């Protein structure tokens, strides 16, 4: 079937990036920020010696990791955009918490004892001694997870939100140019993820050297 029209990309590129990519990146940023904060709290709960803290956190993480992101409604009706931010934050928190848990566990017990020995309390020890080190060690893995999140935001397509894929899809259907638009969308996602992964790889090597 001849007659592809790649000009459709040129015509819609402003819309694709100004509307679509802006939303994709905003959602990625908000969900990553919220997910890391909530995920860190979950990780601290899971590592707590109090069962009433660790059990619910473990249950939450396992639950979120066993259901598909695409099928979950938000608990409150707040409109498609806000609910996508909430859903992604709640989901990603489970994945980020696993990373932060590994990060916290990678810090030797002696660091915690040293903090307590100086007279710091739990929150001070966590905030000033353990978490900064854990966070720093885990930066490459947190970033890799964020690249996965960036790709997963395309799932808001099912909520008819105009993210990058949603924008491409709208143009594709309006102009009957599915082949051109979806190939272009794939190319853009590929280039962005590939570049970011490459940067993470370099960062990982740098951090490895410093350590």
CA separation for the pair 111, 103 (Å, rounded): 13
Contact range with other proteins by CB under 8 A, out of 9-17, 104-112, 126-134, 192-200 = 192-200
Residue 106 or 124: the one with the smaller Cβ distance to other proteins is: 106
Residue 129 or 165: the one with the smaller Cβ distance to other proteins is: 165
- Nearest Cα neighbor of 21 from 144, 185, 197, 195 is 185
The interface with other proteins within residues 110-149 (CB under 8 A) comprises 145, 148
Residue 126 or 155: the one with the smaller Cβ distance to other proteins is: 155
Q: How far is the CB of 51 from other proteins (least distance, A)?
A: 21
Q: How far is the CB of 188 from other proteins (least distance, A)?
A: 9
Site string for other proteins, 46-65 (x = CB under 8 A): -----------------x--
Binding residues vs other proteins (CB under 8 A): 1, 63, 66-68, 70-73, 95, 98-99, 145, 148, 151-152, 154-155, 157-158, 165, 178-179, 182-183, 185-186, 189-190, 193-194, 197
């Amino acid at each position: 079937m001849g007659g592809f029209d790649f000009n459709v990309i040129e015509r819609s590129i402003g819309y694709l990036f100004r509307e679509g990519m802006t939303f994709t990146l905003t959602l990625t940023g908000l969900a990553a920020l919220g997910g890391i904060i909530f995920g860190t709290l979950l990780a601290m709960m899971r590592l707590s010696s109090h069962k009433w803290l660790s059990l619910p956190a473990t249950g939450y993480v396992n639950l979120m990791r066993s259901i598909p992101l695409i099928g979950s409604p938000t608990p409150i009706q707040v409109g498609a955009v806000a609910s996508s931010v909430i859903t992604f934050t709640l989901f990603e928190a489970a994945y980020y918490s696993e990373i932060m848990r590994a990060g916290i566990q990678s810090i030797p017990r002696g660091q915690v004892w040293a903090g307590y020995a100086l007279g710091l309390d739990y929150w001070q020890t966590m905030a000033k001694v353990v978490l900064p080190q854990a966070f720093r060690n885990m930066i490459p893995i947190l970033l890799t997870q964020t690249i996965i999140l960036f790709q997963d935001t395309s799932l808001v397509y099912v909520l008819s939100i105009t993210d990058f894929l949603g924008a491409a899809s709208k143009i594709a259907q309006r102009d009957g140019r599915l082949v051109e638009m979806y190939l272009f969308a794939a190319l853009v996602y590929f280039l962005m993820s590939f570049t970011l992964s490459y940067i993470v790889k370099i960062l990982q090597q740098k951090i490895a050297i410093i350590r």
